[in-house]
């Protein structure tokens, strides 16, 4: 049983390291990955009360983890559509889930520096407690796993790279910017606040803001947000592992 489990994830580390090296060659993409966040923070600092700046910085870190899914969507589709390399990978001893997760970990490693920078800025503006730092870490891991799984699953639905870019940008910006990620939950319409708390990006942002005492959530809201991240992330991850296996058999 243990040997079978280890075999299933064979090649994960090597492929993740390879993907990281590939991504580091695209330094302009890495640098521009925080462009939306920096613009949002700038206009928040320029036009909004300064008390909202910590919200924008916390939201920027969460959004940075979320848009990694867009990069994985682009990368997985590019490898499959333009280079046909996915067929080579699937023909190797590496399992489909190692391929998917290795890509996700590789992209995460390459795009980590901008996230670390934003976390440092948020901590400078509003110092983190140990508990807040742990909640932030857990929230970022959850959002990354959700977005990576979603991005990979969506990438299999496209057959043309030109069709991907508008849809990918729309999906990840729609669910990462419009909900209360960069701004406090209480500004969002009251009737829609429960909806925001079941969406992983805004749920993660609300939990971190609550732990930092920037935002007050009821016990029920904390439970709703936490369970939403855990359940939805686990569900989409397991589905993507299943879908990766099925999709590889159909090639």
* Contact partners, residue 250, CB within 8 Å, separation at least 6: none
Report the domain count for the chain.
1
134 assigned to some structural domain: yes
**Residue 4 is assigned to a structural domain of this protein:** no
Structure tokens at 206: 């609300």
**Model pLDDT, residue 102:** 85
Please give the pLDDT value at position 232. 96
Question: Please, how many CA atoms are within 13 Å of residue 11, restricted to the half-sphere of its CB?
Answer: 17
Q: Is residue 2 part of a domain?
A: no
Q: Is residue 162 part of a domain?
A: yes
Which structural domain, as residue segments, surrounds residue 195? Answer: 11-250
4-8, 19-23, 70-74, 139-143 — most confident range: 139-143
Within-domain flag for 220: yes
* Alpha helix stretches (DSSP H) within the chain: 2-8, 12-24, 27-32, 35-47, 53-66, 68-81, 85-91, 96-110, 112-125, 130-155, 161-177, 193-196, 200-211, 219-250
Query: Is 244 inside a domain boundary?
Result: yes
pLDDT of residue 89: 60
User: What pTM value is reported for the model?
Assistant: 0.88
Is 60 part of a structural domain of the chain? yes
1, part of any domain: no
């Amino acid at each position: 049983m243990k040997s079978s489990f280890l075999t299933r994830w064979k090649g994960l580390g090597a492929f993740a390291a390879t993907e990281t090296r590939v991504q580091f060659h695209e330094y302009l993409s890495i640098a521009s990955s925080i462009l939306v966040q920096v613009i949002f923070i700038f206009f928040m600092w320029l036009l909004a009360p300064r008390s909202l700046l910590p919200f924008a910085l916390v939201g920027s870190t969460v959004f940075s983890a979320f848009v990694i899914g867009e990069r994985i969507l682009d990368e997985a589709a590019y490898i499959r559509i333009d280079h046909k390399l996915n067929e080579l990978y699937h023909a190797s001893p590496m399992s489909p889930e190692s391929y998917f997760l290795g890509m996700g970990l590789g992209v995460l490693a390459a795009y980590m520096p901008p996230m670390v920078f934003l976390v440092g800025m948020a901590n400078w503006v509003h110092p983190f407690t140990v508990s807040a730092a742990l909640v932030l870490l857990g929230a970022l891991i959850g959002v990354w796993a959700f977005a990576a799984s979603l991005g990979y699953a969506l990438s299999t639905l496209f057959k043309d790279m030109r069709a991907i870019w508008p849809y990918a940008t729309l999906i990840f910006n729609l669910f990462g910017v419009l909900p209360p990620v960069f701004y406090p939950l209480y500004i969002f319409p009251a009737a829609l606040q429960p909806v925001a708390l079941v969406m992983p990006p805004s749920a993660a942002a609300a939990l971190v803001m609550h732990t930092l005492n920037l935002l007050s959530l009821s016990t029920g809201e904390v439970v709703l947000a936490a369970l939403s991240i855990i359940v939805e992330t686990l569900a989409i991850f397991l589905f993507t592992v299943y879908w990766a296996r099925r999709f590889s058999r159909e090639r």
